[in-house]
Amino acid sequence: MDLSLLDHPYPLTEEQIRFYREHRYIKLKQVLDEETLAHFNAVITERVHQMRTDDIPLADRDTYGKAFLQLMNLWREDEEVKKLVFSRRIAGIAAGLMETEGVRLYHDQALFKEAGGGITPWHADQYYWPLTTDKTITAWIPLQATPLEMGPLEFSAGSHRIEEGRELAIGDESEAILTKKLRVTDFPHVIEPFDAGEISFHSGWVFHRAGANVTDRIRKVMTVIYMDRSMQLKAPENDNQQKDWETWCPGAVVGEEIDTPLNPVLYP
């Protein structure tokens, strides 16, 4: 399997960088080709099935649990998945959009929204992260074309400017409060399908959600979360940040660069 595309640069235009700076999300087409996508669809599906431990029926889960199966740091379990997570093409886009020289891995996760799976409530990711600056970005990589019925990622474009609501964990409350709050702002609510090979990038403080998967197929998505290469650890401000420190960067020291074996530099 020729995976050389994973190392080919994906040049960004000035316009794309400006768009991201303004809206803190962007969707980019043809980052991956159909062959590469099909390969990782198969590899990641297999790995998710191996790593999955619980088998609680959808109906018995809470809103977060109904949103997706969530498996983390697949790169450490699977050399093949690692090739996607360590892709210089995707990491280079992350660095370009954040207008930073280099990026490190924070962690990866597979997010599989099952057939009949529920919504992903509105939230901002960085509430969970003990990181000092907003130079953080998630590559959301659908492993198939994702029509509206499957629950593609939605964004409140530019909503990183709102501070109220950042303190909400993902759940019924964040969905209720943020739906109301975001409706009365001028930030456009972007709900669009994803083509095969299209990837979105969003920053840690922009609010986003996803609809339910009303199809009979799983919405398979891989995500890679990057941070500025010189990101420092901050003292945790809530239990989730404490847990993230222990899980994603154990050994990192408050006030120092997060340079642990779990956080390799992926670009340049």
Ligand X SMILES: O=C(O)CCC(=O)C(=O)O
Least Cα distance to 139 among 66, 227, 264 occurs for 227
User: CA-to-CA distance for 116 and 108, rounded, in angstroms?
Assistant: 24
Beta bridge partners of 173: none
Q: Which of residues 87-126 bind ligand X (CB under 6 A)?
A: 111, 113, 120, 125
Nearer to ligand X, 153 or 168 (CB): 153
Nearer to ligand X, 193 or 259 (CB): 193
Q: Is the distance from CB of 200 to CB of 190 less than 8 angstroms?
A: no
Q: Does 140 bind ligand X (CB under 6 A)?
A: yes
Nearer to ligand X, 3 or 63 (CB): 63
Q: Does 131 bind ligand X (CB under 6 A)?
A: no
User: CA-to-CA distance for 267 and 247, rounded, in angstroms?
Assistant: 22
Number of residues that bind ligand X (CB under 6 A): 13
Nearer to ligand X, 149 or 259 (CB): 149
Q: Does 153 bind ligand X (CB under 6 A)?
A: yes
Smallest distance, ligand X to C-beta of residue 252, A: 21
Q: Is the distance from CB of 24 to CB of 205 less than 8 angstroms?
A: yes
Nearer to ligand X, 134 or 257 (CB): 134
Identify the residue among 126, 138, 241, 263 touching ligand X (CB under 6 A).
138
Beta bridge partners of 189: 156
Smallest distance, ligand X to C-beta of residue 123, A: 7
Matching residue, tokens 């953080």: 136
Amino acid 150 reads M
Q: How many residues are present in the chain?
A: 268
Smallest distance, ligand X to C-beta of residue 17, A: 21
Nearer to ligand X, 8 or 52 (CB): 52
Smallest distance, ligand X to C-beta of residue 167, A: 16
User: CA-to-CA distance for 252 and 45, rounded, in angstroms?
Assistant: 31
Q: Which of residues 51-80 bind ligand X (CB under 6 A)?
A: 67-68
Smallest distance, ligand X to C-beta of residue 35, A: 24
Both tokens of 10, joined, read 């994906």
Query: Which H/E stretch holds residue 138?
Result: strand 136-142
Amino acid 79 reads E
- Provide the mask over 203-242, with x wherever binding to ligand X is found by CB under 6 A and - wherever it is not: -----x-x----------x-x-------------------
User: CA-to-CA distance for 47 and 126, rounded, in angstroms?
Assistant: 27
User: CA-to-CA distance for 78 and 176, rounded, in angstroms?
Assistant: 38
Nearer to ligand X, 108 or 228 (CB): 108
Q: Does 182 bind ligand X (CB under 6 A)?
A: no
For 254, other C-beta atoms within 10 Å of its C-beta total: 12
Task: State the residues that interact with ligand X by CB under 6 A.
Answer: 67-68, 111, 113, 120, 125, 138, 140, 153, 208, 210, 221, 223
